């Protein structure tokens, strides 16, 4: 009854194939524990027939619909990925090792050299620094090298029919059909959840933010030429409030005895206040004043500390994970010949598994610290609950969900 067993029996030539005869396999949802039905090709075909009138009512021409969705394949891998996306996590330091590797920095400098005129024009038009645009490009597709090879329509149709977020993916599928109906691209491939192109836009983001920067009449994020994709990324960041010249953040050093209740995005103070509390740059200099900001400790009190400004929240519009935002920021710094992150990380700690994260939330709640539910996500409520627990036990209340904290609750 476990999906894994069915799939293990169906690995053919390295590819995962789900036998359609095993219709409606039952597997437990990793988050809720509920048993959910696993779809089939026949189920997808029936869903497409049922979806067709809705797509046509949304303005998709029948000829486009029929040509684009003919032969579209059910992809069990994207369903499994969607259900398991919380399961595997890395620590921020493991993530940054890969995301901001020396190789990615070197390739980024080459990419900027190769596209300098383009990136300068984009920076002038949109007010987003070329190193920031290049950093998004570098993280999303290794500067256009890995743009994903799954047919976007297949992924979106599969997830709209069988996923946990059917309405969301159906809207994305309609947006993808509009891209094709508008003649911007014939067919396109991307990563498992339907993000595609040089900077991995979802189709709905293409609709709202893509621009025709090279002036050929098409908003094409998928060709070899990255002009439209990079300008679209700058347009996206500008729309969400990018401030030209404001750093995403800087690495700082906290004074002895610093009040760790202050280390959260929820606390915003003028730089002069942080300075008065003894915060300095990691090199010991006075803090530069870019307006009110927050202190962040993404790896706990033994890791790096950052003073962040509103551009941090703008990058969050791409991906809300602190690790992602810090990777974009740090990579852009490196591309400007700035220093790497100076502080070490608590590399002896490992990331909690999904089961352990849920157990942590469950045990915190039972101990009287409201963790905001048992979903495995270490959101602001869980971090606040960890801090409260640490305080009650006389530990440094940095809010970091470590195995040590979990073991103390056991």
Question: Binding residues for Ca ion, per CB under 5 A?
Answer: 212, 214, 216, 218, 220, 228
Helix axis angle, 102-114 to 116-126, nearest 10°: 90
DSSP SS3 for 72? coil
Q: List beta partners, residue 249.
A: 308
Count CB atoms within 10 A of the CB of residue 90: 14
**C-beta closer to Ca ion: residue 45 or 214:** 214
- What whole-number distance in Å separates Cα of residue 43 and Cα of residue 26? 15
Least Å from the CB of residue 228 to Ca ion: 4
- φ and ψ of 23, to 5 deg: -60, 145
CA–CA separation, 58 and 219 (whole Å): 21
Question: From start to end of 117-260, where are the E strands?
Answer: 150-151, 189-190, 249-253
CB 216, min distance to Ca ion, A: 4
Nearer to Ca ion, 218 or 269 (CB): 218
Of 185 and 388, the one with the shorter C-beta distance to Ca ion is 185
Of 158 and 205, which has the nearer Cβ to Ca ion? 205
Which of 176/229 has CB closer to Ca ion?
229
Smallest gap from residue 184 Cβ to Ca ion (A): 8
Q: In the complex, what is the shortest distance from the CB of residue 96 to Ca ion, in angstroms, rounded to a whole number?
A: 34
Shortest spacing between CB 211 and Ca ion, in angstroms = 8
Nearer to Ca ion, 138 or 226 (CB): 226
Measured between alpha carbons, how far is 293 from 263 in angstroms, rounded to an integer?
11
CA–CA dist 225, 214 (Å, integer): 9
Residue 250 three-state SS = strand
CB closest to Ca ion, residue no = 212
Q: How far is the CB of 176 from Ca ion (least distance, A)?
A: 18
């Amino acid at each position: 009854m476990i999906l894994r067993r069915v799939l293990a029996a169906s690995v053919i030539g390295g590819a995962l194939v789900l036998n359609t005869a095993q219709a409606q396999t039952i597997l437990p949802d990793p988050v809720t524990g509920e048993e959910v039905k696993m779809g089939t090709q026949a189920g997808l075909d029936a869903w497409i027939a049922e979806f067709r009138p809705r797509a046509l009512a949304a303005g998709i021409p029948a000829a486009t619909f029929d040509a684009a969705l003919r032969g579209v394949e059910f992809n069990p891998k994207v369903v499994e990925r969607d259900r398991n996306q919380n399961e595997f996590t890395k620590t921020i330091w493991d993530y940054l090792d890969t995301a901001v590797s020396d190789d990615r920095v070197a390739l980024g400098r080459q990419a900027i050299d190769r596209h300098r005129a383009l990136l300068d024009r984009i920076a002038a038009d949109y007010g987003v620094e070329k190193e920031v645009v290049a950093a998004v490009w570098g993280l999303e597709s290794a500067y256009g090298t890995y743009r994903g090879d799954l047919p976007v329509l297949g992924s979106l149709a599969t997830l709209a029919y069988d996923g946990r977020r059917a309405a969301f993916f159906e809207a994305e599928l309609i947006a993808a059909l509009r891209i094709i109906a508008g003649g911007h691209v014939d067919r396109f491939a991307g990563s498992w959840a339907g993000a595609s192109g040089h900077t991995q836009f979802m189709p709905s983001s293409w609709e709202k933010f893509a621009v025709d920067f090279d002036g050929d009449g098409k908003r094409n994020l998928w060709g070899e030429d990255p002009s439209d994709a990079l300008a679209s990324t700058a347009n996206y960041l500008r729309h969400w409030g990018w401030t030209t010249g404001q750093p995403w953040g800087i690495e700082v050093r906290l004074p002895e005895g610093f009040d760790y209740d202050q280390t959260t995005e929820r606390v915003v103070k003028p730089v002069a206040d942080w300075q008065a509390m003894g915060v300095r740059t990691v090199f010991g200099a006075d803090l530069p004043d870019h307006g009110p900001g927050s202190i962040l400790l993404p790896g706990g009190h033994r890791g790096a500390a950052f003073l962040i400004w509103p551009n941090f929240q703008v990058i969050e519009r791409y991906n809300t994970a602190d690790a992602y935002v810090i990777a974009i920021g740090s990579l852009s710094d490196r591309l400007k010949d700035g220093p790497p992150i100076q502080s070490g990380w608590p590399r002896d700690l490992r990331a909690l598994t999904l089961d352990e994260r849920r157990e942590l939330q469950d045990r915190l709640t039972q101990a009287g610290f409201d963790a905001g539910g048992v979903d495995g996500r270490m959101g602001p409520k869980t971090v606040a609950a960890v801090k409260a627990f640490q305080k009650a036990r006389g530990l440094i209340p940095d809010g970091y969900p470590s195995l040590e904290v979990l073991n103390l609750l056991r």
